[in-house]
Amino acid sequence: MNFGELSQNMGQPLRVFGNLPYNISTPLMFHLFSYTDAIADMHFMLQKEVVNRLVAGPNSKAYGRLSVMAQYYCQIIPVLEVPPTAFTPPPKVDSAVVRLVPYRTLPHPVKEVRVLSRNHHRSVQPAPENDSQ
């Protein structure tokens, strides 16, 4: 889906929300990161482990590609934790609600950001200091 086109047709930035199954949450968020110019904010209920990965810092066990890319594109705000007892039947995992607010101006602009397949490393290259782009 082209979220940029949808936002343009609606005449305003999109507000994206959902209760995302674990198996599609990461690929969907990576897809949405390419449309952050068209998105006001995103609210998701996810497995707590995924929210921990979103907010993880360098040198932590949960830190990885998802942490780097999510924090590059968005401010990550954990909203609340949802225990298994909130559901019937209760799942075997904890859940959490998170808000992702895309940066209008990237805090650390880079010249090129590429997220490749799982078998390749990400490439983040700092922008030259005299680059006027």
User: Residues within the annotated binding site for S-adenosyl-L-methionine?
Assistant: 1, 19
Q: How far apart are CA 57 and CA 67, in angstroms?
A: 7
89 preceded by a cis bond (ω within 30 of 0) = yes
b/e for 72-105, b at 16 or more Cβ within 10 A? bbbebeeeeebeeeeeeeeeeeebbbbebbbeee
Annotated binding site: 1, 19
Q: Is the separation of the CB atoms in 12 and 37 below 8 Å?
A: no
Q: How many residues does the chain have?
A: 133
Of 3, 33, 28, the C-alpha closest to 114 is 33
- The alpha carbon of 26 is separated from its chain's Cα centroid by a whole number of angstroms, namely 8
